[in-house]
Amino acid sequence: MKKTIKNRAEKGFTLIEIVMAVSIFAILATATLTSFNTISSSSRILNRNIRLTEMANRCLNRMTQDIRAARVSIPPFYSPPRGHEGDDPDPYRLEGDEDGDGFSRLRFASLAHLPVDGNPVPGIARIVYYVDKGRNGGRVLRRSDRLEPFEPFEKNPHDPVLCEKVLSVRFRYHDGDDARESWDSDSPENQYGSPRAISIELELGDDQKKVRMTACAALPVFREKRGSRP
């Protein structure tokens, strides 16, 4: 018996044994690689989700801070436009509408001015949120911030980007129990009043992952609609 074992050891492994060993190793390697790819893919999805969520949070935080510092003209310092040619609109008006691509756009006056050079300058700024084309073909949400005197608004590629990968942005304007998709505080349709709060719905992402978040901010001061009081 000992001689048989010794002879077998001297002869080495048979072809069948080698094939079986290679097959087992291949199965184990495939299983390990599959597990690694699954974990790696899940990690990438999780990291992408975290990045989108953090970016949406920063964007909503910036916008709610701006809105909570909003300013509107209050009577007797405000009077509705009379419709005469040459009448200047209220410089502190609040306007919310849609651009030509169906994205919401918002313009208002605020004390939340952020100077580009970092040196604080007091004053009321005109802030405009608008969606623009990004460098890689996607959409970005920009924030225009200009101190008085207010020049006519124009898109500017140097305006800071609040967030990228924008799929949708919606502003809703709340006045008591009503919520509207658009607003113009200089318009008779809104009885020359301003909303009391603005809610924001933001959707970021791509074909692989999407994140939708919402926020709401109350204006610190609002102008009541004309005729709303008895």
Task: Compute the 3-state secondary structure of the chain and give helix, strand, coil in percent, each to the nearest 5.
Answer: 30, 30, 40
Q: Is 194 left (phi over 0), alpha (psi -120 to 50) or beta?
A: beta
For the chain, give every domain's residue range: 49-77+89-218
pLDDT-based confidence at 44, cuts 50/70/90?
low
Cβ pair 184, 95 in contact under 8 A: yes
pLDDT-based confidence at 74, cuts 50/70/90?
very high
**How far is CA 226 from its chain centroid?**
34
Q: Which pLDDT score is estimated for 31? A: 67
**Would you state the structure tokens that stand for residue 94, as one six-digit string?**
């609040």
Q: Which pLDDT score is estimated for 81? A: 84
How, if at all, do strands 139-147 and 161-163 pair?
A: antiparallel
Please, where are the H alpha helices in 83-217?
none
pLDDT-based confidence at 229, cuts 50/70/90?
very low
Say if residue 176's pLDDT is above 90: no
Cβ pair 29, 35 in contact under 8 A: no
Average pLDDT of the residues in 78-102? 84
Average pLDDT of the residues in 92-116? 94
**Would you state the structure tokens that stand for residue 215, as one six-digit string?**
């926020």
pLDDT-based confidence at 115, cuts 50/70/90?
confident
Q: Which pLDDT score is estimated for 39? A: 57
Q: Which pLDDT score is estimated for 136? A: 81
> Tens digits of per-residue pLDDT, 126-160?
999 999 999 888 999 999 999 988 889 999 999 99
Q: Which pLDDT score is estimated for 178? A: 82
The whole-chain average pLDDT of the chain stands at 85
pTM, 2 dp = 0.78
Say if residue 208's pLDDT is above 90: no
**Residue 52 neighbours by CB distance under 10 Å:** 22
Say if residue 42's pLDDT is above 70: no
Three-state SS for 167-194 is: EEEEEEEEECCEEECCEECCCHHHCCCC
> Tens digits of per-residue pLDDT, 13-29?
676 766 676 677 667 76
